[in-house]
């Protein structure tokens, strides 16, 4: 009796990454139609509302671009580690650590001029995220502790640290008993580009572009790929795996910390418990859809930013904002399936042949 099996193609289909991305989006939209109709909503009206709110005007674009910034930087953080075969699951906490560093600088430099204060806050954010990633980096490099576990657990530590600060030492005395940190000084805010979009959009774009070039065109990026594909080959080539692991995970944490600094100075007015807003976990999906390549992170982050903003807008129509979360998951699943079929084809083989192939 014959049964289907996956057989590797001689050559990967051309345009595999964009094709997988497009298929994932199509799958999400089609399944979304079914879900919306099942819940009694008109899918075309819902999708039209999502498009108008996220991409239908310059104001909508400005909001979407702001949302894409932390998604893109978090995705880049995961992709940087992923380029060496490592998984940074702690971007959520590193975003909060970055915001802590930026807030600390804002407190001690309250009277500094904006051109000094804002860069200092962003630099402190990078340091904060990198410091939170340093422990997992050392543990992974020195004694082989799985970085997935350590980075994931530190997310909770960073959140609890923020809670401790805003309930205690950093609590605003004028908050009437509510656990709130003081407002940032006015000069500690990123200037606007247009409408609601802030300069963080340009900063994130530059950082993503630089890492894309570094990953594809420099010896550093080449060594990361070699170290990620084969440790034995890396050692034979004289590449220090310990140094690379330390560097990559700390840099990854620093990029996620920058996301926290930009979110604080661009889209918020004070540090809060919800500042990371799930961006760190969404960054894992962004990086996965970009195939861990920094060059693809910006486009995926922009799409996800549009989906999230659009998802918030449909609540006034009586549709749950969870629709956007479902669409994001469906895009990922569809893209993964398309990616598999770009590398494999389905063949029908007899039962005996299938067992032998297995």
State CA 6 to chain mean position distance. 31
Q: Where are the domains of the chain?
A: 62-300
Contact 307, 328 (CB under 8 A): yes
At 331, list the tokens: 């895009």
Q: Which residue has the higher pLDDT, 345 or 140?
A: 140
At 201, list the tokens: 């959009």
DSSP-derived secondary structure for 225-281: HHHHH-HHHHHHTT--HHHHHHHHHHHHHHHHHHHHHHHHHHT-SS--TTSSTTHHH
What is the reported pLDDT for 154? Answer: 96
Which range, of 15-29, 109-123, 173-187, averages the lowest pLDDT?
15-29
pTM (predicted TM-score): 0.88
Contact 74, 256 (CB under 8 A): yes
What is the reported pLDDT for 226? Answer: 84
Q: What are phi and psi of 180, to 5 degrees?
A: -130, 140
**What are 89-117's pLDDT values in tens digits?**
999 999 999 999 999 999 999 889 999 99
pLDDT exceeds cutoff 80 at 321: no
Q: Which segment, 38-42, 244-248, 336-340, is predicted with the most confidence on average?
A: 244-248
What is the reported pLDDT for 283? Answer: 92
Question: In which band, very low, low, confident or very high, does the pLDDT at 174 lie, cut at 50, 70 and 90?
Answer: confident
For residues 168 and 4, what is the distance between their CA atoms, to the nearest angstrom?
61
What is the reported pLDDT for 294? Answer: 82
**What are 178-235's pLDDT values in tens digits?**
888 889 999 999 999 988 999 999 999 999 999 989 888 888 888 888 887 777 777 8
For residues 332 and 328, what is the distance between their CA atoms, to the nearest angstrom?
6
pLDDT exceeds cutoff 70 at 15: no
Distances (CA, A) of 2 to 32, 90, 178: 34, 45, 67
Distances (CA, A) of 337 to 96, 212, 292, 299: 33, 25, 17, 20
Q: Which residue has the higher pLDDT, 118 or 350?
A: 118
- Any idea which residue has 């075969």 for tokens? 85
What is the reported pLDDT for 95? Answer: 97
Q: Which residue has the higher pLDDT, 132 or 332?
A: 132
Contact 249, 77 (CB under 8 A): no
What is the reported pLDDT for 157? Answer: 96
Nearest to 98 by CA among 331, 227, 255, 245: 255
For residues 54 and 308, what is the distance between their CA atoms, to the nearest angstrom?
8
């Amino acid at each position: 009796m014959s049964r289907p099996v996956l057989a590797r193609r001689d050559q990967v289909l051309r345009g595999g990454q964009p094709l997988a991305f497009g298929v994932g989006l199509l799958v999400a939209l089609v399944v979304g139609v079914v879900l919306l109709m099942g819940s009694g909503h008109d899918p075309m009206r819902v999708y039209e509302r999502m498009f108008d709110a996220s991409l239908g005007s310059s104001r909508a674009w400005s909001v979407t671009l702001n949302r894409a910034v932390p998604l893109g930087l978090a995705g880049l953080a995961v992709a940087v580690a992923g380029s060496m075969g490592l998984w940074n699951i702690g971007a959520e906490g590193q975003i909060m650590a970055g915001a802590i560093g930026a807030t600390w600088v804002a407190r001690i430099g309250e009277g500094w001029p904006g051109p000094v204060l804002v860069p200092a806050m962003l630099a402190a954010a990078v340091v904060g995220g990198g410091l939170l990633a340093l422990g997992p980096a050392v543990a992974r490099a020195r004694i082989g502790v799985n970085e997935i576990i350590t980075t994931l657990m530190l997310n909770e530590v960073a959140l609890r640290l923020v809670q401790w600060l805003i309930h205690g030492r950093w609590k605003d005395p004028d908050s009437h008993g509510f656990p709130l940190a003081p407002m940032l000084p006015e000069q500690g805010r990123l200037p606007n580009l247009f409408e609601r979009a802030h300069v963080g959009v340009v900063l994130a774009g530059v950082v993503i572009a630089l890492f894309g070039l570094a990953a594809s065109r420099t010896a550093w990026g080449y060594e990361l790929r070699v170290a990620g594909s084969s440790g034995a080959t890396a050692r034979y080539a004289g590449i220090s795996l310990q140094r690379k692991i330390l560097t990559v995970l700390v840099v990854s944490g620093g990029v996620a910390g920058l996301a926290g600094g930009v979110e604080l100075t661009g889209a918020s007015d004070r540090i809060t418990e919800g500042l990371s807003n799930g961006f760190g976990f969404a960054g894992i999906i962004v990086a996965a859809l970009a195939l861990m390549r920094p060059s693809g992170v910006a486009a995926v982050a922009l799409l996800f930013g549009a989906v999230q903003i659009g998802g918030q807008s449909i609540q006034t129509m009586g549709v749950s904002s969870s629709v956007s979360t479902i669409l994001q998951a469906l895009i990922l699943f569809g893209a993964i399936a398309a990616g598999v079929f770009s590398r494999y084809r389905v063949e029908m083989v007899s039962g005996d042949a299938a067992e032998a192939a297995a």
